[in-house]
């Protein structure tokens, strides 16, 4: 009798397993295809945007202007990394954002603060000190999921520093200018540019922007394959044809 009871219990357990296994199974989630990464492309020289990075009179802000934008650019990512001093230590700081272009625009402009701000109850600023250069990165996205990347080092110096060093150069020393200037309290930015101004043909160029006129004299440029048409001002484009 006990043996028969054990057999009955075993039979019921087996039947319950079979029934539970035959229940309705949930369908697996369909495989979602990942969004393809943008394809990196190169732009023809005549379609490359022209970059301006102009310092404020006190050197605590840089105005970024990206001009000559092709109509097929729909989004821009920018990042400015720079070194600053904090209690005697060199630290890396940065500012960046993404710009979505709802409609074609020939140029965009952004003000880049070299420091921090708090505008809860009136704006208060804490400016970074010891800023003398860094790196600017740009990524342009097209309507057809393509990407164009550009990166350049930049140098930021005051008039007094420029006079002391008898010129200015990029942080990687790939380009330098020996010059004199007459301004006493101006700031200067030197960078390798992406594209040339309209109606200008150049295989490569570097640009200098200033909070002032930059009047002085360009004595020499290294490499000497770059030329400046107006040598009476440091500000402007240095072209390599």
12 inside domain? no
pLDDT of residue 70: 94
18, 74, 113, 192, 228 from 88: Cα distances, Å: 74, 42, 21, 30, 38
Residue pLDDT, tens place only, 38-92: 899 999 999 999 999 999 999 999 999 999 999 999 999 999 999 999 888 999 9
52 inside domain? yes
Is the bond into 198 cis (omega within 30 degrees of 0)? no
Q: Is 219 helix (H, G, I), strand (E, B) or coil?
A: strand
228 inside domain? yes
How far is it, in rounded angstroms, from Cα 188 to Cα 181? 11
Q: What is the CATH number of the domain that holds 68?
A: 2.60.40.10
pLDDT of residue 182: 87
Which of 186, 192, 184, 188 lies closest to 156, judged by CA?
A: 188
138 inside domain? yes
18 inside domain? no
34 inside domain? no
Q: Does residue 159 have a pLDDT over 90?
A: yes
22 inside domain? no
Total domains in the fold of the chain: 1
Residue pLDDT, tens place only, 200-219: 888 889 999 999 989 999 99
Domain assignment of residue 80, given as a range = 39-240
3 inside domain? no
């Amino acid at each position: 009798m006990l043996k028969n009871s054990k057999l009955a219990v075993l039979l019921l357990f087996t039947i319950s397993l079979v029934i539970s296994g035959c229940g309705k199974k949930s369908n697996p989630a369909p495989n979602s295809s990942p969004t393809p990464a943008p394809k990196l492309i190169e732009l023809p020289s005549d379609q490359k945007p022209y970059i301006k990075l102009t310092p404020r009179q006190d050197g605590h802000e840089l105005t970024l202007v990206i001009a000559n934008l092709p109509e097929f650019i729909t989004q821009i990512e920018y990042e400015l990394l720079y070194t600053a001093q904090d209690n005697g230590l060199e630290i890396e700081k940065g500012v960046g954002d993404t710009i979505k272009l709802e409609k074609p625009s020939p140029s965009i402009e952004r003000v880049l603060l070299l420091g921090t701000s708090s505008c809860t109850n009136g704006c208060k600023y804490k400016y970074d000190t010891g800023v003398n250069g860094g790196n600017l990165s740009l990524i342009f996205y097209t309507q057809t999921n393509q990407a164009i990347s550009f990166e350049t080092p930049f140098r930021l110096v005051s008039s007094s520093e420029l006079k002391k060093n008898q010129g200015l150069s990029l942080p990687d020393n790939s380009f330098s200018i020996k010059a004199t200037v007459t301004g006493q309290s101006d700031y200067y930015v030197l960078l390798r540019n992406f594209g040339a101004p309209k109606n200008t043909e150049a295989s490569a160029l570097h640009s200098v922007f200033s909070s002032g006129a930059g009047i002085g004299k360009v004595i020499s440029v290294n490499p000497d394959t770059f030329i400046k048409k107006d040598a009476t001002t440091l500000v402007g484009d240095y072209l390599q044809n």
